Amino acid sequence: MTTKPEAINAMPAQPISSTTQPDAIKAPDLTPAAAWSRRVRRIGGFIQAAFAAFWLVRASLAIGGRTGDILLAVSSVAVIGVFAYAIKVTAGTAPRPAGPQARRIERSVTLATVIELAAAFVLPVIVIAAGHSDWVLPSIVITIGPLLLWLDHLVHIPRYRLVGWALTAGPVILVATMSGSALAVTTGIAAGVILLGTAAAGFHDLAAIRAARPPGPASLGTKG
């Protein structure tokens, strides 16, 4: 039994691409740097939010008392809210890019992150050995700035440039003008708020990309 050409032509064409990942999210035409820019905003945003929680908790403990408890409660709500927002609006927006250039960018991002983490462990040891134990928190914060500046250079996130300079110069200014618990509290609150705000802004960028996606093949097929 043969199939008539008319029957074949009458059969609905099957879409080649999956409707579970809209074109705006898959973005096959993105450059490797642009694709990694999305991934850094998402994965890096989760890391920033986690570090923000650490800094805000540290500031709360340094303040102590009822004021510290209030700061801890407010910070917890803010951090949980940012994480919940990110999980809801960024899923599928930043798949891992493939290709030689993308892998080179990935290696640069990974190496820069490892260097930052190593510096965050080494610098506190140095300042404690130098007799400046109250400089421990600023010495950790200052390692984040150069990392964000490098990420902006790699994947072009202008917001990271401003935040990177703030986290590089800010600890120096605080160390020069404060000491003791005031230095610890100010450093913790400033670093926590800046990092949480940066993470939330990156998640908002990805939410806008997801909201702006064109209708998928299934949606187009239902229109008369």
- Mean pLDDT for 95-99 is 89
The whole-number pLDDT of residue 136 equals: 93
- Mean pLDDT for 160-167 is 96
- Mean pLDDT for 104-121 is 95
Cα separation of 150 and 137, whole Å?
22
Considering only residues 1 and 186, tell me which one the structure prediction assigns the higher pLDDT: 186
Query: Is residue 214 very low, low, confident or very high in pLDDT (cuts 50, 70, 90)?
Result: low
The whole-number pLDDT of residue 221 equals: 44
- Mean pLDDT for 204-213 is 85
**Average pLDDT over all residues of the chain:** 85
The whole-number pLDDT of residue 140 equals: 94
Question: Dihedral of CA 160/122/55/169: which sign?
Answer: negative
Which of 196, 218, 210 shows the shortest CA–CA distance to 52?
196
User: According to DSSP H, which parts of 27-157 are helical?
Assistant: 32-39, 45-63, 65-89, 100-129, 136-141, 144-155
pLDDT > 70 fraction of the chain, expressed in percent and rounded: 82
Contact 154, 32 (CB under 8 A): no
- Mean pLDDT for 124-146 is 94
The whole-number pLDDT of residue 28 equals: 55
